[in-house]
Amino acid sequence: MEETRSQPRLADALSKQLLLKGLLAYSAFGACQVLYRLLRGWRESLRMRDMLADIPASKGNEAPMSWVKEMRKNFHRANDWRYEICEGMPICKNVGFRWNPGGFQVICGEPDMVRHFLKDAFDTYTKGVPSGENPFFIYFQEFLGDGIFTVRHGLGSDDDGKAWTQMRKISAQIFNRKNFNSLMQDVFVEKAESLRSFLSRPEVQKEPVDLQMGFFNFTMDSIMKIFFGEDSSTVMGKQNRYGEAFDNAQGAMRQHMVKSISFNLIASTFLPWPFSSPSGGGLARMLWDATSPTYREFTSELAVIHDEADRLVKECLADPKFETRRDLLALFLQAQKEIKFTTQFVKDMVLNLIIAGRDTTACLLSWMFYEISRDPEVQKRLHDEIDRKSPAGTSMDLKSLSHNELPYLHAVIYETLRLWPPVPVDSKVAFADDVLPGGWKVPRGTTLVFCPLVEDVGWKEARSHTTFKASACCGCDIDFAVLWYNMGRDPVRYPDPLAFKPERWIPFTAPPHHEFPVFQAGPRICLGMDMAIFEAKIAAVELLRHLRFELKAGQSITYGTKITMNVKSGDKEELLVWVKKR
């Protein structure tokens, strides 16, 4: 009897001993893993600090990872902050942790440096690998999948850049002259006429209209037709779930990404498996993401994007005219027969091109009409040129809209791109040790951020107050925070760089891409560059043939917090403009 009672106690004791031994073993394993990471990270971090020793730290960010705290604090004015920490320095650095090689950045803006890592050393610099050391790319990858903005090439790729090359090759098929003068021309004209018709309604002209929303709807409708073969009409007020979800997802992703930098770097070093992993995953990050309202919003909107993408793919494949369709989605699905990539790959690729094809052109048009609506003289010169060269009733094509035919319109577009680049900042990761022009050493694993070449030429006087009167005619307060983070503000190259002067582009000479990297440079040059300018010209001509614009007084104009540079008025991303018939 006594023996029978002792058996459960013995089993219980053995279970506790096994549990204790298991915990001790896991503790030893965890301690060894963390110690290994610390030693490895410290050694790599020390190597990076030594190689970067000659590059000065950005202002106020000498301490390791101090820049992350400042970036979070200045998230709503990120471009102001980048200017302030780099003022007067053609190259500077942000220092990472002493025990982790992640977080090291080199910020540069001289044209020869940009040419070096976008062209001359193309294979060395590409997008980073999603990991605990590169937390930015974890969320970019989750949002954009394996598209053109996330897939790697050169030394950073697993396939010698084949996927990246295939994406470029297939995408290039749609950007040919035949499509410009047929499919694209017809779509852009049709959608521009719809926007003009909407803005011409008497009820619309009774109140200031959000012109930026109009441009985003115009470009979304155009892209849905050209990229997906679907005819949408958001310009006229119809809902587009894909576009709405896309906007909401990228806004939530950006907020969550910035909040998560320090956590991901710390967790990937100090928490053992399964709480963290080298890829940046693990239970800790799962819990961190799950408890974040912005992350939940992000995943909810991402689910809508995937549902809509599934629908578009299914409808495209079921189309009896599928084999003869020339929209971008159809081109990729047709190529699946020869190039064995997945349907998810196709959806990711087209999603990436939404950013390139919709947001960038909409931002260009928004800032362009901001300048037009606050400067009556610029608007009058555009009206006069269009009335002479491209009046209502005449067709619009590549030749009739060229810089030779409409030089002032072309100049206004380039001056807008100079002052208000749709994508204000970009970055690449070095996958091998390198030396930049000027002898600056860059260690493997460093993130290169290309921002403006900022020079302290007459700027402190302009910075003596934060807002300026836009013009006497509109009385609108304008926050000039955004005016310094484009390389086009080099006062040596562009005298009086803060002024909007289209005349500086007449006669037009195309600037070298590494000096004017709005459309990237080298092998990465934007495939849709000509399409974007063509689309913007058609929209501008159609609207200016019939309408005049005046900026609503009292707005405080700045920029939003998305990947692309939206116009923001107060706490809303909008551009309120009075629209009147001519």
Structure confidence by residue, pLDDT tens digits, 423-440:
888 888 999 999 999 999
CA distance 299 to 306: 10
Question: Does 124 map to a domain?
Answer: no
**pLDDT for residue 166 is more than 90:** no
DSSP, collapsed to helix, strand or coil, labels residue 435 as: strand
Nearest to 221 by CA among 249, 183, 194: 194
Question: Does 476 map to a domain?
Answer: yes
Stretch among 29-33, 80-84, 222-226 having the lowest mean pLDDT: 80-84
Hey, CA dihedral for 194, 416, 450, 64, is it positive or negative? Answer: negative
Q: Is the preceding peptide bond at 274 cis, omega within 30 degrees of 0?
A: yes
Question: Does 568 map to a domain?
Answer: yes
What's the whole-number mean pLDDT along residues 156-168? 87
Question: Does 270 map to a domain?
Answer: yes
pLDDT one-digit tens code per residue, 51-98: 999 999 999 888 888 888 888 888 888 877 887 888 778 899 998 888
Question: Does 83 map to a domain?
Answer: no
Q: Is 103 left (phi over 0), alpha (psi -120 to 50) or beta?
A: left
Task: State residue 293 phi and psi, 5-degree precision.
Answer: -60, -35
Question: Does 440 map to a domain?
Answer: yes
Domain count, the chain: 1
Residue 473 marked in a binding site: no
- Angle of helix 135-144 relative to helix 293-318, nearest 10 degrees, comes to 40
pTM for the predicted model, two decimal places: 0.86
Q: Which domain holds residue 546?
A: 165-581
CA distance 83 to 428: 19
Tell me how long the chain is: 582
CATH number of the domain that 429 lies in?
A: 1.10.630.10
Nearest to 420 by CA among 383, 463, 475, 374: 374
- Angle of helix 328-335 relative to helix 162-172, nearest 10 degrees, comes to 130
**pLDDT for residue 458 is more than 60:** no
Question: Does 570 map to a domain?
Answer: yes
Give the bridge partners for 547, in sequence order: 581
**315 Cβ contact list (under 8 Å, min separation 6):** 230
